[in-house]
Structure formats: structure tokens, C-alpha cells
A and B are shown apart, each in its own frame.
Chain A
């Protein structure tokens, strides 16, 4: 609160000339914007604006759910989409709020920074005329000390002390404002880190099936989905290739996953191929990209021998359906089969596809709709065979995980039977062609990412925390000592020694005043102790005795441990005043 008081009076408070109205308006708006009240309101707006981001599905988090929302709410969704409700954190209004907040923040810290630097260089101010008007006040008699000695003792206690004649001014706790400024500046650095990451960073998701024939090399085309920052050139992605050689997952009997580990061969430009393994929580960190394990599943190997006896093999991944037992679904399409060897012509009506489920642990009895365990204890595929035109030539990009249902609906693709196959089992179709379930290969889904802002983010988060502690637990306070050598000519007649004792020769009258400049209820205590040390009642560092400290009524008084609320104590934070009350009740 004092920090606020500390700010210099607005310079434009009393303008001499008639101000230019436009300028005045601008200046007023700026002052409004940089006021604490505005900061408070903007903080609230920010909190409120974030709420839809958790209530509505977000493209950045889960694009499938957004699509589902469009299906479920066909009227509402487009309207929400127009106002950016599915990309709240990139929307104009969200950005407007935080940009205003950060403008306000900069407008707030720059003058305070200037002010604080000045305060750091300035000497503690001279003592006020009447020290007895200060919240803390004490008069010591017969103390054998002088201003220099007092200042030395204060400096030893890490006060910044300044001697002016027979007066000592001292101040402590600059850390509060330093911390506050560090904290708020770090906030800006955090934002910069985020910005840096989104401009120069990129990421992509990839499904990687085991085996050398499925190796993945880091180019834009290889990603199913990728997002490159505006400053990233897709040709500039770092070159490297990955081959999944092994994947291990263990599960508890309850089907809860216990551990995952993927092993890959890594080829990087100019380096020998090496083997590396990574896991959830333990990404593979290459120089300029990190690889994160997101999920895993199985790719059934299906071998189809067509009516002319020619064989093709499919190794398409079946995607997990989201249940814990890894029931997966997918399709194995064979568009180039049944080519008549006599004519060499492909018959578009004789394409074949198998759609259905893969069950790592199929139940012993029908229905074969759900796997019983996530690892392969009784692997089986449950497939429906289709023959006809797969619709792949029409140029409409279809999913490789689903059949084109339009072809089925129009009758161009016909269902010709269904079957459950265990590993090694063969299924002879009506035209004599054969499908064999050979086995599976594991696949993993990975996220490949590069975020150049993360170092800045980490660093600024650290300084943010340090600054925050300083800001919350620092306490700015001032004390003044006026040392009057024994004699009749008292400098401050108003603050006569209440004890009325005549000072003995060679000793001094010391008047002390203290002013906490921030909320600091423990100040009475500290002041009393300081006074006690100066008066020589206790050895330096000891506790105050009844050292003549006359704290104001209700300030907790000397000696009494003013309300040491534990968390405050732990934190070194604001103690509670009125400590004596703490014991009062217990005394009935």
C-alpha cells in the first residue's frame, strides 16, 4: 500500500497552460489504464475470459471434440466459431485483454522502476521534527553512545544508515519493491517466452509403426498434422530419421498401465545411427527437437491372396477406441488386387477391403466386440470383408482408418462376409481368395516439438518466484535516532524525557522513532528489540527486555511476542498485531 503512496504526485495535477484536449484525454486514458483499479479489472476479465476455454472444446487441445460439437449443435457451433469460442486463447478478445493488461503492467512498472532506482541511490531521509508522532517512539536516557555508534550498529543489522549531525536515519526492506518489480518484469518475460515459442517453434504428430519399412524422417509431408510457427520455414525442419525397433508396455491385472518404453534407431545428419529409448515423462531430446511418447497400439499384419494367386500384405495401424483394454478399429484396404494377369487390367469393381476390430486379448466366446486385456494374450481380428469400388480413385481424400461409407451406401462396395481370425488363421472368401492374419506390429504415436521459448519461460518463471517472495515477505521500514549529548540544550523540547531523570554526565539522551512503510505488524517487536540493543540492555542480537520502548497503545508492546501466527512466521510474512490478546483468552 505504501508503494502506492510512494509514487510521485501526478505531475500533470496542476497544469499551468490550458492543456490540449486531445493530449489531456490521452494522458488521462493512460493514467486510467495504468491504475491499480484497471489492473484489477483486467485481471478479472482475463479470468472470466478463460472460462469458456475450459467449458467448450478447443481446437488446440482436442480438435475431434470440436468436430463432434459441430455435429451435436449444428446451429450454435458456427455462431460460436465466429466469435472464436473454439480457440479462446488465440481469440481477438482474449488477446485484447492480456495485451491491455500487459500494457498497463509496463505503464505501471516503468515509472516505479525509475522511482525505485532513485530510492536505492538516495540516502534515507532526514528525521521528522517530532519523532513522538511516529507509530513507534521511544526515549532512552543515560545511554553512552553517539550517532556514529548507533549507525554502525544499524549497519551491522543490515540497515542502510545515514548520519546527519546528531541524527541517524536508517531504512531497510528495499527488497520488497525490488521483488515486486522483478516479479512484474518477469511476467513480461514469461509472455515473451510464450511469444517466442509460438513464432519460432513447431510441432507435429506422427503415428510410427515398428519396422524399417515404416521409418519416419522429419519432413513436413510426413506428419499427419503439424503446426509451424509463422517464422518457421517448412524446409528448415532439422533432418533426422526414426525407426521404431521395439515397444514394451506392461499393465496391471486391472488393465491399468504400469510402464511404457519405446526403443528407436535415430539417424541424424552427420552422425552415426544410434539406439535410444524414451517413455512417457522421459522424452527423447534431440538437439533441436524433442520427441514425446503419446500413445501406442497395434498394426495387424494381414496377407491377402487374390483370386489369381497373387499376394499382398497390409500393415495398417488400427486405432485404439479409447478403452483401457486397447480394443482397436481400422481397415485394411487392398485397392490393387485382382488384376487379371491375362489383360493386366485392374478391375475397379474387384477391390477388396477388410474393416473391423483388433482385440489384443479376445474373449473365449462371442461376442467378439471388446478386448479383455491390453497386451496380446489372445490376439484376434474381427473383420468384415468388402468387395467393390473403394472410391479411392475419385480424388477425394479419404481416411486410411475408415472405409468410404458413400461407396457402401451407393452399393458400389458390397459386404461379402465376416469372420474372426486368430493369429495364423486363414479365411477363404467366396471367390477363392484368402485372407491370413499373420500377426501384429506395435505402433506408437509421438509428438515432435521444438520450442525455442522454453528456456526463457523457465528462467523467467524462476525470477518470478524469487521476486514474488521478496514482494510478499519484504517489509520496508524506517527508523530515526536523535542523540542529544547530556546537557540542558535539548534539540527537541517537545519530546522531553518522560522519565524526567536527569542524564548523568557522559551519557546521552536518545530519542527514537520508527515508521513501517508497509503493512508490518511485527514492527513493534523489531523496534523494541532495536531500542533495547542501542540502550545496551541486551547484548546485540538478544531479546528485548523492558528497554523503555514505549510503543503506542495496542501495538503489541515491547517484549511481548506480538502475535506470531505460524504461517506468517514460516513465511516471514505479516504477523498479527495485538499479540497479547492471543494469550488473554486462555487466561479465562
Chain B
């Protein structure tokens, strides 16, 4: 069972990789068209114009544009294809990418479940399993978002990239054999705590994708044409990305809060104190405070939306620090990493 799980992980990585390439093909074909046809820049200008109108003067919060549909992308795709084969192929590649992502997520789920069966417990006993679960939540939530908002499809390039990197890293650096839980982890609070942490981390992970996309697209809509911004040419409108970023974070934050509280309850039972400033606890506190800062920043009209979004990204970096940095660099009671 455990070997099966390992194989499934490898297949899932491959599938994500293929999905990523497929997304990239869509990008490339779309761009090729833009280069090939002189009319395209004009269309883009329309798009940029809408964006600019949406954003108002450069300093105004983008919020005022919330109500506008993602016009540029819609226009680009809805344009009469008139013999434009490469754009068609691009769309096809994009659609294929989504289906392959779904397949990859299914493999990913199967890998996680078989791992759990092999261990005869929830598959959250060590860092490898944790990363497996968190990234699955991210992928599944992505598909759910995509189901409701197909126009976000192009973000899939970033998402699959994240998946490939995370899973490959997990397989190469974090892999451990299946073992039962240590006594410290044998508690139902463990299930409550780790499942909610995984879930919220997965959503936060997914939240990074529109956050980064927003920052790029926002720059693009404001007329930046240098390297990372040009990538955003064919992304959905900035306002929508920003809102999705907020929605995901607002959804994950209470779950994360609950997870931290559950962790404190568990720590009280296991170690006699709800909070002891162990490195992991310290970083959970830091993440929590940074995300609270993001919610505050977004609710403060004088703070620009891209500043707020940077805070969200910073929040995720602190989550990563907690997952990898603390497990590798510090020793604490959460001797959970299982990497030696």
C-alpha cells in the first residue's frame, strides 16, 4: 500500500507537470497571436484602459473597480477567431490543462488516502504526509474555484508550478517510511488540529496564486511593461484577482485561528501548557498576526491594495517558515518533522 502511494505521488507530479506545460502552451499561443497580429495591441489598450479606469488614479484603491467584469480577458477570448488557429489551439491547451490538473488531483488524493491506509491512521504523521495533504487541499480548492470561475483558468500555470515544486520537494527531501504515530500525537485533538491546519494551509497556499497574479496584473494595468508584469497580459482583471485573494484568505483565517486554538488545547493536555512559545508556536503566532494584519490592511482605506496583498504573501512566507524552517533549523517539542 505504501509503495502504491509512492508511485501515485510520482504520477501526480508528472500529471501536474503536464498540466503546467499545457497551461504554458496556452500562454505561448496566446502571446504568439498577440505578436502576430498588429490589431492585438489596440485590443490590449482597451483592456488596459478598462483597468486604468477601474483603478482610477494610480493611488486609489482598486476596490472601486470591484464591480467591473474582467473585461480584457473576456474580450481577448471572445474575439472572433476568424481563422486564428493558434488561439483556438491555445484554448484547447488551456482546457486540457484543467482536465489534467483534475486527473493529477485525483492521483494526489489517491496517494494521500493510500498512505493513510498503509499507516492505518490519518496521513498527517510527519512532514512528508503533511505537505502531501496540504498541497492536495490547495489543488482541490483550486478546482472548486475554477468550477465557479472558469475565467481564472490561466492562473493554473502558477498553481501547477507550485504543486510540482512542493510535491517534488516533499518526495526528494521529506520522504519517510510509514510509521505509526508517537504517543504525543495519539490524541483526537491531533486529528482536529492537524486537519484544520492542513486545510487552512491549503487554502492559504491557493490564496498565494491570485495574490501574485494580482500584483503582476495590477502593475500591468498601470502600464508597466517590464518582465514579470508582461506575463500578466493575459490574466484576468486585477480587481477580480484581488477579491479572490481576499475571499480565500478570509475563508482560511478563521479555520487557521481555530486550528491554533485546537493546538493550544492539545498542548495543554500533552505538555501541560496551552502556549509555551516553542518555535512552532511562535511562528504560528507570527503567521496569525501577519494575516490579521492583512485583513486590517485591506479594511483600511488608506492602505493600497497591493500593499495589503504583499502582506498576505508575507503571511504565507511565515507559514512556509513554520513548516520548513522551523522543522529543519530549530528543535522544539514539535519533534514532528521526521527528517533527520
Contacts and interface: CB of A to CB of B under 8 A. Distances in A.
A282 B283 contact: no
A468 B144 CA distance: 24
A60 B276 contact: yes
Contacts of A575: 247
B81 interface: yes
B285 A565 contact: no
Given A40-B300, A577-B67, A588 B286 contact: no
B150 A447 contact: no
A567 B141 contact: yes
B270 A458 contact: no
Interface in B263-286: 264-266, 268-279, 282-283, 285-286
Given A292-B272, A469-B254, A472-B253, A258 B303 contact: no
Contacts of B293: 40, 43-44, 47
B320 interface: no
B2 interface: no
Nearest to B147: A566
Interface string A540-573: 0000000000001011100000011111111101
Nearest to B326: A54
B248 interface: yes
A259 B67 contact: no
Most buried by A among B78, B179, B186, B253: B186
Given A461-B261, A521-B66, A567-B203, A584 B77 contact: yes
Contacts of A46: 289
B149 A582 contact: yes
A449 B276 CA distance: 13
Contacts of A493: none
Contact of B243 (A3, A37, A473, A577): A577
A343 interface: no
Contacts of B180: 252, 256, 258
B6 to A, nearest CB: 18
Given A567-B144, A584-B151, A257 B303 contact: no
Interface in A422-481: 447, 449, 451, 454, 457-458, 461, 464-465, 468-469, 472-473
Contact of A566 (B145, B184, B246): B145
B299 A581 contact: no
A235 interface: no
A51 interface: yes
A75 interface: no
Interface residues of B, number: 81
Interface string A250-286: 0010101111100000000000000000011111000
Contacts of B265: 458
B156 interface: no
A283 to B, nearest CB: 6
B254 A465 contact: yes
A582 B261 contact: no
Contact of B69 (A280, A290, A554): A554
B186 A281 contact: yes
Contacts of A254: 179
A583 B150 contact: yes
Contact of A292 (B144, B264, B271, B283): B271
Interface residues of A, number: 82
Nearest to B203: A567
Interface string B281-309: 01101100110110111011111000000
Given A465-B257, A587-B78, A281 B270 contact: yes
Chain A CB within 10 Å — which of B69, B189, B303 has the most? B69
A281 B183 CA distance: 8
A464 B261 CA distance: 10
B299 A554 contact: no
A193 to B, nearest CB: 9
A575 B145 CA distance: 11
B269 A281 contact: yes
B106 interface: no
B73 A567 contact: no
Contacts of B184: 280-281
Interface in B204-248: 236-237, 240, 243-244, 246-248
Contacts of B318: 47
Given A3-B299, A576-B149, 14 more contacts: A4-B299, A54-B283, A61-B277, A257-B182, A280-B184, A281-B266, A447-B271, A465-B257, A563-B240, A565-B145, A577-B240, A578-B67, A581-B240, A585-B77
Top 9 A-B pairs, shortest CB-CB distance = A578-B69, A292-B272, A581-B69, A54-B282, A566-B144, A281-B187, A54-B279, A571-B251, A567-B251
Interface of A: 1, 3-4, 36-37, 39-40, 43-44, 46-47, 50-51, 53-55, 58, 60-61, 88-89, 194, 203, 252, 254, 256-260, 279-283, 290, 292, 294, 447, 449, 451, 454, 457-458, 461, 464-465, 468-469, 472-473, 519, 521, 552, 554-556, 563-571, 573-588
16 contacts: A40-B297, A44-B293, A46-B289, A47-B293, A292-B272, A472-B295, A519-B66, A567-B247, A573-B251, A577-B66, A578-B68, A578-B69, A581-B69, A581-B70, A581-B240, A585-B78
